[in-house]
Amino acid sequence: MVRRTVHEVTPRSVQARRDTVVTEEPLEIRLGWPRHAPTRVAVIMRTPGNDFELAAGFLLAEGVLDARTSPRGIAYCVDRDLSQEQLYNVVTVTLADPPLRHPSSRSTSVSSACGVCGTQSMDEVFTGENDRLPVRERVDARMFNELPDALRREQSIFARTGAVHAAGIFGFDGTLVVAREDIGRHNAVDKVFGARQLGKAAFADDSILCASGRIGFDIAAKAAAARIAVIVAVGGPSSLALDLADRAGITVAGFVRSGRCVVYTCPERINGLG
């Protein structure tokens, strides 16, 4: 976990304080077996801890192993060239025999050296060619509490099943532009951005993405790609999501419920905080 200075906004006050944020880092899983050198098969965003169990469970779910077979070995990569932040972000799983099924490759770029880290992940999303989002307009954070309820009113599938996520794009005045539902929260976000790509909705950079659930790196990465200025959610953000938001110039507000919210990044876009 990491500590950050945040701004808690309530109907009566704005208070700066220190807050604890869950850590999110990528884990690269490499797979090897006799006469087959270890190669990357997946990069998973995770909270560090129990990484060997995560790797083994992932390979079981992918059909690489069966429930009765254990890997011959699991270890962290210990390349001498690794920087401090890259340590413990690459796990090599060694099998005694060829895998039952080769997992789908989630990255076509395989380096001979270990090196996946949060910085590398952000570099892939937000390169030096991207302009940091400028602060052109300010928004009232107290309005954020209206957005989850407005989004919920658009969730017809959730009303019937209680089993889907939602995402919506709002203007800085709180007006809903487009809302979509999906079993996956990242899919719901893709749908609202895709609506603009296909000409079914129109919204500018100075818009708000309201998402159900937490704010992970995947959500921040999609907002950065779509150049959306503000992300709000009823859940909290991860450390890597906030690092990317800082770099991209995105304002992140979490725990938007019960008349309060916590502003984590780019408070200068919020009325009274700049």
Active site amino acids = 114
Burial class (CB in 10 A: 0-12, 13-18, 19+), 182: middle
Element (H, E) at 121: helix 118-125
Neighbours of 236 (CB within 10 A): 20
CB-CB contact of 261 with 271 (8 Å): no
Cα–Cα distance list, 259 to 130, 149, 234, 255 (Å): 35, 12, 11, 10
| Residue where the block lists tokens 């794009």 | 169
Q: How far apart are CA 90 and CA 75, in angstroms?
A: 9
CB-CB contact of 42 with 103 (8 Å): yes
Q: How far apart are CA 85 and CA 70, in angstroms?
A: 29
| Residue where the block lists tokens 């690092």 | 243
Angle at 77 between CA 76 and CA 78, to 5 degrees: 110
Q: How far apart are CA 203 and CA 201, in angstroms?
A: 7
CB-CB contact of 151 with 135 (8 Å): no
